[in-house]
Structure 1
Amino acid sequence: MSRRLWLLLLPLGFLLVALFLYQRLQHDPSARDSALMAREFPTFEATTLHDEGSLVDQTLLHGEVSLVNVWGEWCPACKQEMPQLLALADQGIRMVGVNYRDTREKGVHFLNEFGDPFEVNIFDPDGRLGFDLGVYGAPETFLVDADGIIRYHHKGDISPQDVAERILPEVAKWR
């Protein structure tokens, strides 16, 4: 009797597992919410990309709404989104960069080649700040309000459509 029951339940169990996996494949992982939403920007102390003697910390993000963009010279999508970041900076939006898992030389070369929209670039060669932010791939952008609270998290490169439909409305909401 128990052998017959197992023979009946085995295909049913397989079918349930297959259905579960199929549903998970339909889920977009980039649509997940950031665990840091509505929390303070993580505490950090780091040098800037352009000056290894200049230290900055999370207080850099207090007093003004900022877009914090995590980027790297090695990242093709970072090159693709640079025109949008330059345009946002031209519109008076404060941009802070996090040069993620890079070398100073490569980071500086990237900015010289593609433009530098950033007021400050935090140098994060070992990815500690990126880890604390929950970054799982560059580029990622965080909107931080004037009190240093993360209000929006954009995963992936910023397209012109993203600027119009997501970024500018979020900046306006928190200014």
Structure 2
Amino acid sequence: MKKFLIPVALFIAIGVALGRGLFLNPTYIPSPLIGKPMPAFSLPLAATPNVDLTNADLKGHVTLLNVFASWCVSCKQEMPNLMRLHALHLVRLVGVDYKDTPQGLHHYLDAFGDPYSMIVTDKRGMTAINWGIYGVPETFVVNKQGIIAYKFVGPISYRKLHAKLIPMVKRLEAQPA
């Protein structure tokens, strides 16, 4: 009887573990940066490459840091929703142009619009590595103190925009600096 009980218990434990995996969100990738200060960076502005934007420049404002590229198909999918967000004037949206060319960026913005307050360029991708970027697009929500509050992996859909992002921005904006 005992010989039979151990394999059955093991089978049940494996079944529970695998069954739990069915209910996990496949688009959620946890970030060790959530709840921590944003990594230090200094990147040139796309409009004026001799001027850098640093992490210190983002403090005092709720900021969305959107990592994108002109060659990214999913980035093109999320642009209408970023344009909707821009039209609401709720939050500062900073674009990080990842491993791209100035010409690619120019054509991309001409084709899809420019929702960004400012755009910086990460030509070598080193800042993206420090931020733990898996791919593009990825968007970070940074609070007024420079703490990363949330990370969106993949394109921001209309549903994510209205169900998660806008309420989070409003909540963070209501908090003192």
TM-score by length of 1: 0.83
Question: SS at 1:123's partner residue?
Answer: strand
8 Å CA contact 1:50–1:104 kept in 2: the answer is no
8 Å CA contact 1:38–1:149 kept in 2: the answer is yes
TM-score by length of 2: 0.82
Q: Runs of 4 or more off by more than 6 Å in structure 1?
A: none
Map of 1:104-123 to 2, 5 A cutoff? Answer: 104-123=102-121
Q: Number of paired residues? A: 159
The match for 1:86 is 83
The match for 2:131 is 133
User: What's the CA shift string for 1:48-70, capped at 9, x where partnerless?
Assistant: 12221111111121111111100
Partners of 1:135 and 1:127 lie apart in 2 by: 9
User: What's the CA shift string for 1:107-143, capped at 9, x where partnerless?
Assistant: 1221121111111111001111111111101001000
Partners of 1:74 and 1:47 lie apart in 2 by: 20
The match for 2:31 is 34
Percent sequence identity over aligned pairs: 35
Shift of 1:28: 4.9
User: What's the CA shift string for 1:129-168, capped at 9, x where partnerless?
Assistant: 1111111010010001111111011110001000111101
Q: Which protein has the larger Cα radius of gyration, Structure 1 or Structure 2?
A: 1
1:97 to 82, 85, 95: 95
Partners of 1:72 and 1:85 lie apart in 2 by: 14
Task: Extract unaligned runs of 5+ from structure 1.
Answer: 1-11
Partners of 2:82 and 2:57 lie apart in 1 by: 19
Task: Extract unaligned runs of 5+ from structure 2.
Answer: 1-6
How well do the aligned residues superpose, as a CA RMSD in angstroms?
2.0
1:59 paired with 2:56, answer yes
